[in-house]
Amino acid sequence: MITIKEVSNKKDLKTFVKFPFTLYKNSQYWTPPILSQELKTFDTNENPVFNDAEAKLFLAYKNNTVVGRIAAIINWLEVKDQKQLKMRFGWFDFIDDLEVSKALLNKVEAIGKAHNLEYAEGPVGFSNLDKVGVITDGFEHNTPMVTWYNHPYYAKHYEAANYKVEKGYIESKFPFSNVKPETFEKAQALIKRRYQLTALNFTKTSEVMPYVDKMFDLFNETYASLSSFVAITDIQKEYFKKKFISFVNPEYIKFVIDKDNNLIGFAIVMPSFAKALQKANGRLFPFGFRHILKAKKHSKDVNFYLIGIHPDYQNKGVHAVIFNEYYKTFTEKGIEFCYRTPELEDNIAIHQIWKHFSPEVYRKRKTFRKDL
């Protein structure tokens, strides 16, 4: 018999956060989260997303053993302002037992119906900067720290519960040796002169900070037209600064400004922390910090996390300016492989940016939907 329990205290929350450590303990491809950060994600006093969203967390028990978990999420900005009557769910993990997954999804669906929402979709997080999608192809690769991993049996559980594919995402990679500077070197010089643009490079995180708010504003403008986009609020900007920027080498953040110092392009690349986080096994102390700092300085693999160009400058080759700066930095650092985090399959514009590097799609993800 399956018992579903709502998380109601700190002990339950720790159980919720730690469950994947048991489920994936024998997986060489799962990348553990940092436990302290994961706990803060669900702390209503710590994560400002709870100013505009709410979540209920559930644990599934079988024979007094935890066998599954799920987060049922309503983003009220999405529901009230955008009129997207969506019931979100994420952090959905379970043993290969259809009774377990169905019982957890039933909780999500009941909440959605109680709030007169039209459909449920997952796995997704609170916002567009959270993890997204269940892996449907490409299980034999390490997962970046900003994505979820799952066992191959997950997709059949969605289908068994009458969920249909809603969105498709791809992750791709290419060796840095595929990058030929002649594809952008001359173009970027011409583009900078034509539009009076300047590329900004950094060596210290403190140099980046004055531009971060502008970057999130540009992120909102750049991605506003994509499906399911929810803008980042001012208070969330401060949270994401603390959560992400400290993990990024300042040399891996590139901005492009116009003659009036307006930010018109940005990109954030993160060192690959997968192996370091596997060694840390969720804990920063006593040795986790050492593994992460080593990866931050010496990883030969990088993940392209975000890239955005102001709508007024799209299709004008501004990405060539950004790539030129990365080429110089990556050459100096001896980077060997470049990975892209999940991108919507139908985001043709972003795929066109990478075409000269002959990327290989190595993983596919899906979100699933069910009408309520």
Query: What domains does the chain contain, in order, with CATH numbers?
Result: 2-171 (3.40.630.30), 175-362 (3.40.630.30)
Average pLDDT of the segment spanning 256-262: 94
Please, are residues 284 and 226 in contact by the beta-carbon 8 Å criterion?
no
pLDDT tens, position by position, 171-196: 999 999 999 999 999 999 999 999 99
CA distance 177 to 163: 41
Q: Is the pLDDT of residue 67 over 90?
A: yes
For residue 131, give the 3-state DSSP assignment. Answer: coil
For residue 99, give the 3-state DSSP assignment. Answer: helix
Please, are residues 221 and 311 in contact by the beta-carbon 8 Å criterion?
yes
Q: Which helix (H) or strand (E) holds 86?
A: strand 86-94
Find the DSSP H helices in the chain. Answer: 10-23, 35-41, 76, 98-114, 154-160, 185-195, 205-223, 234-244, 274-280, 288-298, 318-333, 348-354
Share of the chain above pLDDT 90, in %: 76
Q: Is the pLDDT of residue 242 over 80?
A: no
Q: Is the pLDDT of residue 29 over 80?
A: yes
**Would the CA dihedral through 120, 125, 127, 132 be positive or negative?**
negative
CA distance 344 to 351: 9
Please, are residues 295 and 272 in contact by the beta-carbon 8 Å criterion?
yes
pLDDT tens, position by position, 331-354: 999 999 999 999 999 888 788 888
Q: Is the pLDDT of residue 131 over 90?
A: yes
Q: Which residue has the higher pLDDT, 237 or 135?
A: 135
Confidence of residue 286 (pLDDT cuts 50, 70, 90): confident
- 71 burial (CB, 10 Å; 0-12 / 13-18 / 19+) is buried
Average pLDDT of the segment spanning 9-25: 97
Q: Is the pLDDT of residue 31 over 70?
A: yes
Strand partners, 361: 172
Q: Which residue has the higher pLDDT, 128 or 186?
A: 186
Q: Is the pLDDT of residue 220 over 90?
A: no
Amino acid found at 321: V
Q: Is the pLDDT of residue 228 over 70?
A: no
CA distance 42 to 15: 13
Confidence of residue 92 (pLDDT cuts 50, 70, 90): very high
Give the chain's mean pLDDT: 93
Average pLDDT of the segment spanning 235-240: 81
CA distance 351 to 342: 11
DSSP 233: P
Confidence of residue 227 (pLDDT cuts 50, 70, 90): low
Q: Is the pLDDT of residue 109 over 70?
A: yes
What is the rounded radius of gyration, in angstroms, for the C-alpha atoms of the chain? 21
β-pairing, 2-6 vs 164-175, is: unpaired
Q: Is the pLDDT of residue 155 over 80?
A: yes
Least confident span in 71-85, 217-231, 314-328: 217-231
Torsion of CA 216, 84, 126, 45, to 10 degrees: 90
